Each structure stands twice: as C-alpha cells, then as structure tokens.
C-alpha cells in the first residue's frame, strides 16, 4: 500500500479499526481529541460504534461492559483523564477483560499542561489503580511503529485477557508522518471468547464478569493466576531496540519521542568521536532488562533521558543491577530536551569533548 | 544533503498549517523523509499558529526545530518577532511584507520580502497569500517540486475544491516570480 | 399431586445473603419472573452494583457483569451498544445510583439508552453499615448522621424518579413499593412494563422500588414495613412519572 501522510491521533484510529476494533468510548481532552473525532467519523462506516461518554470514568466502564460482552474495544485519553480511568482499568484487569487504552501523555501533576511529556511512566507501569496487576505497555517512537503495533496490541489483549496500553505523547499525537498500513498476520492463536456475556440462550450456565472475591483464599488464588499470566508476558512480550552499542562509552536509555531526539544526538556525537549507545524500550512493561546485557562492561555510565523528572531511573537501576552508574537528564512540564543538551550531558559524563 | 527544517507561522486562518502540510506531503510523494508538527493548544483558536516541517534524505529524529531552522516563513508580525531567533546562521526568512513593515534584525540570515497579500489580491483571491509565500519558498530552496505540491493539494482539496487548483497554482508561480525579482 | 407454585427459572438455586426481612429477595424474584415470562432469560445480560446487591450476579440465572460503584449504567451502555438485540438491565441501590453514580444514571437516561434499571431505594447504605444516603429522610438516623439527617447539613432527600422524569430519553419512570401484596403486584407490573419498553426500543426505563432495611433502620421486619408506609411513601409518592406514549 502507498504511504499516506496522517496525524498521529488519526493514524491510531485508522490502525485500530484495521485491527478489528469496532467500539470506541471516549471523552474530550487535549492533546488526543483528533482520535475520538476520527472515530466518530469512521466507526459508523465499518458498522462500529463511537460513543462520547459523560466522563472518562464512564468511558472506561463502557469499555468494561463492551469487553465483557466480547467486543474488540478501545478508549483513549491523556494523563489526567487516564488517572480518572484507573478505577475502571483495575476492574478490567481484575476481571481479565481485553481492551486497548491509548494515553497521549501531557505534563502534570494535576491539570498540568497540554504539551508533550513522559511523566505518566509510573502511572502506566506500576498499575495505576488498586491491587496487584500489570498492563502490557507499548511506547512507540514514531507513527509507523505505532500503527504497526496496534494489531499486536489488540491481539495480545485478547490472548492474555488483559488491558493493553499504547503510550504516546502530545508530539506523537499531533505530528504528521508518512505511514504505510501493512498487512500483518497475528502471531497469536486467539482463543474463543466463550467467557463473554452474550446471553445464555438457555444452553449453558450463566457467564459472570467479575472482579469481586470476598473469600481471601479465593482472591489470593486469583492473584496467583494473574501473576502467572504476567510472568508469561514478561517472558514473551518484551520489545526493545538497541543502537550503536559497540564500544559505547555511555549508553542512553530513552523511549518514545525522546528516543528520536537522543538518536540525533548520538549521530552528532559519533561525528565528534564520542561513542554513545541507545537502549530504546518499546514495551515499558515488561521493561527490557535483557537489553542491558548488551552494554559494554567498561561503559562509563548509563543515562536516562526522559520528559519527566526521572521516573524510569528506578527500572534502569534494577535492570543494570549496579553494573554501571546511572545518570539522568530530563525536561518536564511540556519542555522537550534538545539534542544539544543531551550531547552536553554525555560530554560531562565522559569527561569533556575529545 | 537535503535537510530542510522549515517554520511556517502566522495568524490562524492564514493557511500556514496548510502550506507546511503541503511541503511535507510533496516530500513524501518524492520519497523523502518528512514530518509535520503543529503548535497546539488554545492559541490555535484565532491566535497565532505555526508548524515545524522537516524534509530530509535521512531518517528524521526529533521533529522539533530548536534554533536550527533552515527557513522561516512568517505571515504576520508576532511570528517574525517569535521565530527570527530560531533560524540557523545563513538560514532564510521569508517575510510577508504586505502585513509586516518591520525588517529582519539579524545580519547572519538572509531576508526576503514578499508582498503576499497584494499579490494574492491581484489574483482576485486574498486567501491564497499563503500559496504566494510557498511559491517563493519553493523557488528559493527547491526543497520539493511545484508539481508535487500541486499533486498534494489535489489530494487534500478533493473534488469539492478542485476548481480552486488553478488560482493556487497561479499563486505559487507569482510567488516564485516575486522572489526572483 | 399438582404443582401449585414453582420458583422462577430466572433465579439460581443459590441461597441469598440478604438479612432477614430485607425486601431485596422479593425484588429479585419479581425481576426474574418478568424475565422468564417475557421469555428473554437466555437473551439477557444483567449488571450488578456495589452495595447490598453486589452479589446479585450469583442469584440471577442469566449472564451477569459486576460493575464498580455507581458505574452500572455505563457498563450496561457498553454491553447494549455491542448487543443492541439483547436485554440489558442494571440492579442498583440508592447509594450506588443516587450518590456515587448520579452522573452515570443521568446520562444513561439522557442518551435514552435502551436498558432497564431496577433502583432499590431503602434510604440508607446497607452493605457498609447504615450510613446516610442522599435518599435518607430528614430526622432519620444513620451511622454517619447519628442525630438524624438535617436540611441545614445535608439538604433535602433526593427524589430520583422525579429528577429523571424531566429527561427526554427516560421513556418509562415509575416508583413502586414492595410493602404489601397489592403493591408487590403493582411493582411486578411496572417492572414488566419497563422491560417491554426496552424490548420495544422506546428508550431508558427505570423502576424505583421502595424497600426496607430492618437491620440498619433498627426495626423488626414488620415494623420496617410500617415505617416504610408511614415515612418513605409520603416523601416518595408511588406512581408512574413517564410512559412511552408521553415521550414526545
């Protein structure tokens, strides 16, 4: 198929519909508004349903109902809206329902701003709501990758019966880039949704969608079952990219938009004789711990570059397990790191320019 | 190696987002790497609008322009004031002299003055001032072909606005002439 | 020997957890009988709330989803939009519907969502131990209103049926009570009409059922029924507020 030039938010919608998403429940919030707007135009054309809910809370609970009724369903929001959705997300995780949640991250805390940020790292990787649960979290770096991952996001949600989050930021949502919608085959063998509530037709016992278990022993058992699922996701769903790791004096860890900026800095640094590697997590959870085995033993430092105050640093420290010092450079509140600033930080770590 | 970083800026409604999209779209049609990044937020509603466009032969890292624009196209005074300092040394600034009386203040960039609204007025359609500026830009930098831009415009306009293609092409040509003169 | 009475197929054999004298059991049975009589049990998906009837999914003999507190109408919306040909209902108490879930109930009515809500109003939070609800009467004692509710502190009790009947998409709104055999028969008739309204695609339908809570009111079951008659019904008048013919 020929390339098309599309805005990120609209490309997400197009990719979701292509992945078989038929139901979308949303609520307006900047900078993701083009996504629900796109869905309101396009969903009816494929026999699907777009509905603007009265709140993010209602939207995520509509997702719960639709997912429990066996549908491929999606919602989207931005940081404070995702915070509101957390109640529904933990119920969805607890009831083991599949859905895709798009988070076009903006600066916080509170109402924050509307410019790009990555300060939802903890909100999306630590569960966010109550209880022990995990989301599979993708953080693509460009629109093509976002589009390519969408089919996988829906398939993984169905396969694991787990909510999947697609994390972008204001820049990913708002920018236009050429995109090619490729045909892809699912790598999952998807089970029938024989657990869904579609009416018994008098032919079977009722199906129940539920996250309540008043018996502690039963609830503990349920948690063990969930944990086994998360372990399976950890074993099978990690995605990352490494770049320029050979002889790297410093290895930068960056994801999404920030990784693009970092890559520019790495190319320019190379021209100046400074070798810098990149670990780019594509899944934020599970975090790509294995990638750190590629870091040269004599690497001077790991450097986390983020559009937040260093929320990813803990994961880098856990993954690197004391093998290298971990430094941090970040901007926040909607400010975007410049390649120059990243280069300066690297030079500081390697002891000045060569 | 082609590595254009263009800022298009003006009032909302002047069509600066569109000319940015046209440069990106045309670049894509020519097989180049492109990106288009708008400013967004409350200022879009009637205030100033701007977008950052990249056209490159290598993969685009950050789509953000930070003090390294190769060209700025400014359609109104606030945009001149805001973006003049974001241009790299030896870069270009195209100024809509119909609405901006002020001159560029930097001496390490090259300024071009295009009376875009007057030229558009001569064409009988004041709304194509943006295309006049785009024509001037294309003539100056040769980033993409005029034909590619027209193909892109054709796609964006669709059948409903097909009758406007001729006046837009005329605006591109007049803009090109204005910068040659 | 001929069979003169049988439990409805609409209920499972599970023994309910409701307190002695609580009227939830009666309301469950009425809903289940109606679903059976309309022959839609196999096509029905119910949504249970948070509150005393949180375990309703164990009692209704149809597919069920358990919603978070107050969100049953949103969950039901999701189900109904996926399966517009199925029967979808929510079963909610007054804490769930009239307090934490006001946005969801107002907007499910506002959209004219073709679902049915059974709203059990006993003027108190039962499950959590007798706290004040928006529906608690003036002077009525609750564990969070130990001296009784006052207007100055908490306002007047919320009349949900009256409020919802101002909304265009609410096609059927009726308040009933289960304090006497006659009223129970009327309640069942209203519940049936509400589901018929859904089946006819007329819009949102709700039946508010005045109910007792002997445990948290601190009465015997019989005194609780009398208290309902003497106090709840005068403030929450029974009757129909909207039916499809009146929907313009």
What is the DSSP-derived secondary structure letter of residue C19?
A: P
Of C41, C74, C86, the CB nearest to A58: C74
Contacts of C71 in chain A (CB under 8 A): 57-58, 61, 64, 87-88
**Which residue carries 């800022």 as its tokens?**
B7
- Contact call for C81 and A62, based on CB within 8 A: yes
CATH 3.40.50.970 location in chain A? 4-236
Chain A neighbours among C 51-70 (CB < 8 Å)?
A: 54-55, 57-58, 60-68
- pLDDT at C144 exceeding the cut of 70: yes
Chain A residues 237-296 within an 8 A CB cutoff of chain B = 257, 260-264, 267
Longest dimension (CA), chain B: 45
Could you confirm whether domain A240-350 is CATH 3.30.230.70? no
Report whether pLDDT(B46) > 80: no
CATH superfamily of A4-236: Thiamin diphosphate (ThDP)-binding fold, Pyr/PP domains (3.40.50.970)
Cα–Cα–Cα angle for A150, A155, A157, nearest 5°? 95
Decide: helix, strand or coil at residue A337: coil
CA distance B125 to chain A (A): 28
Residue A276 in contact with residue A250, Cβ under 8 Å?
yes
Rounded alpha-carbon distances, angstroms, from residue A316 to A26, A277, A282, A310, B160:
34, 15, 14, 10, 54
**Subunit contact A260:B61, Cβ cutoff 8 A:** yes
Which fold does the domain C24-246 belong to in CATH? Answer: Rossmann fold (3.40.50)
Partners of residue A5 in chain B, C-beta under 8 Å: 21, 24-25, 28, 34, 36
Q: Give the residue from chain A lying closest to C72, CA to CA.
A: A61
Q: So what's the architecture of B3-180 in CATH?
A: 3-Layer(aba) Sandwich (3.40)
Q: Which residues of A touch B3 (CB under 8 A)?
A: none
- Kindly identify which residue of chain A lies nearest to residue B41, measuring between CA atoms: A114
Report the alpha-carbon distance of residue C157 to residue C161 in Å, rounded. Answer: 12
Minimal C-alpha gap between C155 and chain A (Å): 25
Query: What is the per-residue pLDDT for B59?
Result: 87
Burial string for A59-94 (b: 16+ CB within 10 Å, else e) reads: bbbbbbbbbbbbbbbbbbbbbbbbbbbbbbbbbbbb
Q: Do A206 and C77 touch (CB under 8 A)?
A: no
Residues 6+ apart with CB under 8 A from C204: C108, C109, C111, C112, C113, C114, C115, C117, C169, C170, C171, C172
Which residues of chain A form beta strands (DSSP E)?
Answer: 4-7, 23-26, 49-52, 73-77, 99-105, 136-138, 163-169, 176-179, 208-209, 240-243, 250-253, 276-281, 283-285, 301-306, 326-330
* Nearest CB neighbour to A58, from listed C54, C57, C103: C103
pLDDT of residue B62: 85
Neighboring chain A residues of C68 at a CB cutoff of 8 Å: 61, 64, 87-88, 91
List where CATH 3.40.50.920 sits in chain A.
240-350
pLDDT for the residue C1: 77
CA distances from residue B86 to A257, A259, B56, B64, B99 in whole angstroms, order as listed: 21, 23, 19, 11, 21
Do A and C touch (≥3 CB pairs < 8 Å)?
yes
Is residue C43 pLDDT above 60, yes or no?
Answer: yes
- B36/chain A closest Cα distance in angstroms: 5
Domain positions in chain B are 3-180
How do C44-48 and C87-93 pair as beta strands? parallel
Question: Shortest Cα distance from B124 to chain A (angstroms)?
Answer: 31
- What does the pLDDT read at residue C66? 98
CA distances from A110 to A80, A106, B123 (A): 7, 11, 51
Q: Which element (helix H / strand E) includes B35?
A: strand B33-38
Q: Can you tell me the ipTM of this complex?
A: 0.94
- Cα C59 from chain centroid? 15
Degrees (nearest 5) of the Cα angle C88, C13, C2? 105
B7-20: average pLDDT: 94
Angle of CA points A77, A82, A85, to nearest 5°: 110
CB nearest A336 (choices: B24, B36, B64): B64
Q: How near does any CA of chain B get to the CA of A115, in Å?
A: 8
pTM for this one? 0.95
Residue B43's pLDDT band (boundaries 50, 70, 90)?
Answer: low
Q: Could you tell me whether strands A73-77 and A23-26 are parallel, antiparallel, or unpaired per DSSP bridges?
A: parallel
**Cα B158 to Cα B161: distance, rounded to the nearest angstrom:** 6
Mean pLDDT, residues C90-107 taken together: 98
Q: Hey, are the CB atoms on A199 and C64 less than 8 Å from each other?
A: no
Chain C neighbours (≥3 Cβ pairs under 8 A) are A
- In this structure, the strands spanning C170-177 and C239-242 are antiparallel
- Structure confidence at residue A354 (pLDDT): 53
Instruction: Give me the residue from A25, A206, A211 closest to C63, CB to CB.
Output: A206
How far is Cα A20 from Cα B156, in angstroms, rounded to an integer? 27
From A3, A171, A261, residue closest to B37, measured CB to CB = A171
Coil vs helix vs strand at B80: helix
What pLDDT is stored for residue A18 in this prediction?
97
Q: Is C99 on the interface with A (CB under 8 A)?
A: no
* In contact, C175 and C208? CB cutoff 8 Å: yes
- The CA radius of gyration of chain A, in Å to the nearest whole number, is 21
Q: Which residues pair with A49 in a beta bridge?
A: A23
Which residue shows structure tokens 């590629």? A294
Window C:108-127, CB contacts with A under 8 Å: 110
Mean pLDDT of C185-201: 98
Which residues is B104 bridged to in the sheet? none
pLDDT band of residue B66 (cuts 50, 70, 90) is confident
Closest Cβ opposite residue C57 in set A57, A200, A210: A210
What is the pLDDT tens value at each position of chain A, 354 positions in all?
A: 689 999 999 999 999 999 999 999 999 999 999 999 999 999 999 999 999 999 999 999 999 999 999 999 999 999 999 999 999 999 999 999 999 999 999 999 999 999 999 999 999 999 789 999 999 999 999 999 999 999 999 999 999 999 999 999 999 999 999 999 998 888 999 999 999 999 999 999 999 999 999 999 999 999 999 999 999 999 999 999 999 999 999 999 999 999 999 999 999 999 999 999 999 999 999 999 999 999 999 999 999 999 999 999 999 999 999 999 999 999 999 999 999 999 999 999 998 655
Provide the residue ranges of all domains of chain C, joining segments of one domain with +: 24-246
Percent of chain B with pLDDT over 90: 82
Instruction: Look up residue B28 and give its two tokens.
Output: 């894509």
The answer on pLDDT for C248 being more than 50 is: no
In chain B, the residue whose alpha carbon lies closest to the alpha carbon of A113 is: B41
Name every chain A residue with its beta carbon within 8 A of the beta carbon of B62: 257, 260-261, 264, 336, 339
**Hey, are the CB atoms on A175 and B38 less than 8 Å from each other?**
yes
């Amino acid at each position: 198929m020929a390339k098309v030039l599309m805005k990120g938010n609209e490309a997400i919608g197009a990719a979701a519909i292509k992945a078989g998403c038929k139901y979308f429940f949303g609520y307006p919030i900047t900078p993701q508004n083009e996504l629900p707007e796109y869905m309101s135009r396009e969903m009816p054309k494929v026999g699907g349903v777009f509905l603007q809910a009265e709140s993010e809370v209602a939207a995520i609970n509509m997702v719960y109902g639709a997912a429990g009724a066996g549908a491929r369903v999606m919602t989207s929001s931005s940081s404070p809206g995702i915070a509101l959705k957390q109640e529904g997300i933990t119920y969805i995780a607890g009831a083991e329902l599949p859905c895709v949640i798009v988070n076009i991250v903006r600066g916080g805390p509170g109402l924050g701003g509307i410019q790009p940020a990555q300060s939802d790292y903890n909100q999306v990787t630590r569960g966010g709501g109550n209880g022990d649960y995990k989301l599979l979290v993708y953080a693509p770096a460009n629109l093509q990758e976002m589009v390519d991952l969408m089919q996988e996001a829906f398939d993984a949600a169905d396969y694991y019966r787990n909510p999947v989050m697609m994390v972008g930021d204001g820049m990913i949502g708002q920018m236009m880039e050429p995109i090619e919608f490729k045909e892809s085959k699912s790598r999952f063998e998807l089970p029938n949704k024989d657990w869904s509530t579609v009416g018994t037709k008098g032919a079977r016992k009722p199906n129940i969608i539920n996250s309540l278990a008043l018996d502690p022993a039963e609830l503990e058992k349920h948690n063990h079952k969930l944990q086994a699922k998360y372990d399976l996701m950890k074993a099978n769903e990690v995605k990352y990219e490494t770049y320029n790791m050979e002889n790297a004096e410093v290895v930068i860890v960056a994801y999404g938009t920030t990784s693009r900026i970092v890559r520019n800095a790495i190319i320019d640094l190379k021209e100046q004789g400074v070798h810098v590697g990149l670990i780019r997590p594509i899944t934020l959870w599970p975090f790509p711990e294995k990638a750190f085995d590629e870091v040269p033993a004599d690497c001077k430092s790991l450097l986390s570059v983020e559009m937040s105050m260093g929320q990813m640093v803990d994961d880098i420290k856990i993954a690197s397990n004391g093998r290298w010092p971990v430094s941090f450079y970040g901007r926040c509140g909607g400010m975007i790191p410049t390649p120059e600033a990243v280069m300066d930080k690297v030079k500081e770590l390697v002891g000045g320019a060569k | 190696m082609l590595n254009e970083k263009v800022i298009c800026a003006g009032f909302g409604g002047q069509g600066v987002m569109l000319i940015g999209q046209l440069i990106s779209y045309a670049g894509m049609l020519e097989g180049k790497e492109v990106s288009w990044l708008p400013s967004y937020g409350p200022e879009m509603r009637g205030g100033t609008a701007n977008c950052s466009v990249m056209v490159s032969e290598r993969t685009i890292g950050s789509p953000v322009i930070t003090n390294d624009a190769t060209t700025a196209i400014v359609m109104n005074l606030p945009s001149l004031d805001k973006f003049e300092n974001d241009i790299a040394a030896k870069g270009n600034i195209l100024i809509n002299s119909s609405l901006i009386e002020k001159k560029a203040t930097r001496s390490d960039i090259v300024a071009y003055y295009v009376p875009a609204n007057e030229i558009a007025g001569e064409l009988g359609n004041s709304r194509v001032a943006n295309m006049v500026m785009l024509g001037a830009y294309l003539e100056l930098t040769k980033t993409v072909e005029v034909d590619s831009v027209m193909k892109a415009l054709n796609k964006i306009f669709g059948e409903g606005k097909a009758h406007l293609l001729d006046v837009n092409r005329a605006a591109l040509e007049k803009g090109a002439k204005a910068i040659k003169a | 020997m001929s069979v003169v009475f049988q439990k409805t197929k609409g209920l499972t054999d599970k023994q309910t957890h409701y307190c002695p004298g609580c009227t939830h059991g009666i309301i469950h049975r009425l809903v289940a009988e109606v679903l059976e009589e309309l022959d839609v049990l196999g096509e029905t998906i119910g949504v249970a709330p948070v509150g005393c009837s949180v375990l309703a999914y164990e009692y209704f003999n149809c597919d069920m989803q358990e919603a978070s507190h107050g969100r049953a109408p949103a969950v039901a919306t999701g189900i109904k939009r996926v399966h517009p040909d199925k029967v979808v209902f929510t079963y909610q108490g007054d804490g769930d519907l009239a307090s934490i879930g006001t946005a969801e109930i107002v907007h499910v009515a506002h959209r004219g969502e073709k679902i049915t809500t059974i709203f059990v109003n006993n003027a108190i939070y039962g499950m959590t131990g007798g706290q004040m609800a928006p529906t608690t009467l003036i002077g009525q004692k609750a564990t969070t209103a130990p001296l009784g509710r006052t207007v100055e502190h908490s306002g007047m009790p919320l009349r949900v049926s009256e409020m919802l009947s101002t909304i265009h998409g609410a096609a059927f709104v009726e308040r009933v009570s289960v304090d006497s055999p006659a009223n129970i028969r009327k309640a069942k008739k209203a519940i049936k009409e509400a589901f018929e309204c859904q089946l006819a695609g007329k819009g949102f339908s709700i039946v508010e059922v005045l109910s007792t809570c002997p445990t948290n009111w601190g009465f015997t079951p019989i005194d609780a029924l009398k208290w309902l008659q003497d106090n709840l019904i005068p403030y929450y008048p029974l009757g129909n507020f909207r039916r499809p013919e009146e929907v313009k």
